[in-house]
Amino acid sequence: MLGKELTKEEIEQLMSRFFTYVLSYEDERVLEYIVEPHQAVNLDEAFSSIYDEVVSKGFNTVLIKHDNMLLLRFAKRQVNMKSKLQLTLILFIATIASVAITGYYTILSYNESVSLLNLKLGLNIELFDPIVGTILFVGVVLTPLMAHELSHYVTNLRLKVPTTTPLPIPAPFISPLGTFGAVIQIRHLPKNLKDLALMGISGPLAGVTFSIIAYLVGYVTSPTLPLNVVSQAIESNLISTINIAPLSALAIDALLTKPTEVVILNPIALSAYLILIVHFANLLPIGQLDGGHVFRALTSVKTHSTTSLIVALAGITVSLAIRELAWLGVFSVIALLISGRGPHFGAANTLSVLNSRDKRFITLLYLLLLTATFPVVII
């Protein structure tokens, strides 16, 4: 017996529905079989059925081709998959507190700047109520970030990929948002490349959508001033300009604001703006980032590895040339260090491929998200 959940005999009984097999290796944790599909058996569907059954019972499984032989390998997971609900709850409460503290001081700083503008230029811009502003800040920060992680989590559950619950990361005073988001640990590869693509794209799709909505709400509630007044405020060092903006933010500005007016972004809009920038970085096709998962699903192990290195080096180079993109170089280095230089094998079924229809759809969605979050340097 390899574990309480599943026995060798049960694994072989399951395999026999789809394959003839010969045991090629066995130890206390691993079983490996040379397999041959029965006539008229769809290999992808057969592996998917086996994956769903054994992964839910504490085993990982992969299908590989070696020396023109199909190998089906099973390994008992050693990691305890019990949900650390208490830790998750503690971190979630700590993250709410961290974001609230950050939001409170951000609101106070904004009110101080606005009060100075009102005093020096005779304006009448409304101040934020600190409590209401803090609550709004917490909502705007956590909604896109939690939507991102929960979308990953729900997608993984639906695809039967063994996954931990999201663990929020509080970051008071370090991050301008009061958090570094959350992390999810994937305990095994998804069954095929389509599932890998869905796993990678689901979080950014939810996060970017909610971020754009939050930015739009913050934008329309931000004060609007005539261009000449803003020029005077800049010359007096009362406000500063934003020299980089996501394309979606620029599109909203172009659609909603007259050329003779300038919007002074309030903390709600600014926090959503930052989250859009974070999403762009996460969408880069580097290593184990969400963008890396999507790109691996669309390409090969070799293409993914080469592109990861090229994109990371390009990010570092651009950051050295353009001061406003210094963060991109730092993030590229961190992404490479975290992901390592090991290959991204993609899926448990190493023979799986995306069909043309799925590949076109995922590519279009990926490019759309990259375009929406793409940071444009404003000269």
- 109-154 tens-digit pLDDT: 999 999 999 999 999 999 999 999 999 999 999 999 999 999 999 9
Tell me, what's the pLDDT at 4?
Answer: 56
Do residues 143 and 229 share a domain?
A: yes
Contact 52, 67 (CB under 8 A): no
* Over residues 291-320, mean pLDDT: 95
Q: Which range, of 56-70, 233-247, 332-346, averages the lowest pLDDT? A: 332-346
Domain annotation covers residue 317: no
Domain annotation covers residue 341: no
Tell me, what's the pLDDT at 379?
Answer: 74
Do residues 133 and 274 share a domain?
A: yes
Instruction: Answer whether residue 342 shows pLDDT above 90.
Output: no
Do residues 139 and 72 share a domain?
A: no
Do residues 91 and 239 share a domain?
A: yes
Q: Which range, of 1-5, 183-187, 354-358, averages the lowest pLDDT? A: 1-5
Instruction: Answer whether residue 172 shows pLDDT above 90.
Output: no
Domain annotation covers residue 224: yes
Average pLDDT of the chain is 93
Higher pLDDT, 181 or 195: 195
Last residue of a domain, one of 76, 98, 128: 76
Tell me, what's the pLDDT at 2?
Answer: 47
Q: Which amino acid is at 36?
A: E
CA dihedral over 254, 256, 260, 266, signed as positive or negative: negative
CA angle 143, 146, 149 (to 5 degrees): 150
Do residues 25 and 92 share a domain?
A: no
Tell me, what's the pLDDT at 336?
Answer: 85
> How many domains does one find in the chain?
2
Q: How far apart are CA 219 and CA 78, in angstroms?
A: 49
Do residues 245 and 131 share a domain?
A: yes
* Over residues 178-195, mean pLDDT: 93
- Domain span including residue 54: 8-76
Do residues 157 and 274 share a domain?
A: yes
- How does residue 84 score in pLDDT terms, banded at 50, 70 and 90? confident
Tell me, what's the pLDDT at 173?
Answer: 83
Do residues 19 and 96 share a domain?
A: no
Percent of the chain with pLDDT over 70: 97
- How does residue 3 score in pLDDT terms, banded at 50, 70 and 90? very low
- How does residue 87 score in pLDDT terms, banded at 50, 70 and 90? confident
Domain annotation covers residue 24: yes
Instruction: Answer whether residue 95 shows pLDDT above 80.
Output: yes
The full DSSP string for 176-220 is TTSEEEEE--B-S--SSHHHHHHHHHHHHHHHHHHHHHHHHHHHH
Do residues 196 and 275 share a domain?
A: yes
Question: Which candidate, 220, 92, 90, places its Cα nearest to that of 146?
Answer: 92
* Over residues 7-25, mean pLDDT: 95
Do residues 112 and 12 share a domain?
A: no
Domain annotation covers residue 154: yes
Domain annotation covers residue 296: no
- How does residue 1 score in pLDDT terms, banded at 50, 70 and 90? very low
Q: Which range, of 74-88, 172-186, 254-268, averages the lowest pLDDT? A: 74-88
* Over residues 51-71, mean pLDDT: 94
59-66 β-sheet, strand order: 19-26, 30-37, 69-76, 59-66
Domain annotation covers residue 258: yes
Domain annotation covers residue 117: yes
Which helix H or strand E contains 70, and what residues bound it? Answer: strand 69-76
CATH number assigned to the domain comprising residue 12: 3.90.1070
Which residues have C-beta within 8 Å of that of residue 150, sequence separation ≥ 6?
A: 166, 206
Do residues 48 and 110 share a domain?
A: no
Instruction: Answer whether residue 80 shows pLDDT above 60.
Output: no
The pTM of this model reads: 0.92
Q: Which range, of 130-139, 280-289, 336-345, averages the lowest pLDDT? A: 336-345
- How does residue 83 score in pLDDT terms, banded at 50, 70 and 90? low
Do residues 269 and 235 share a domain?
A: yes
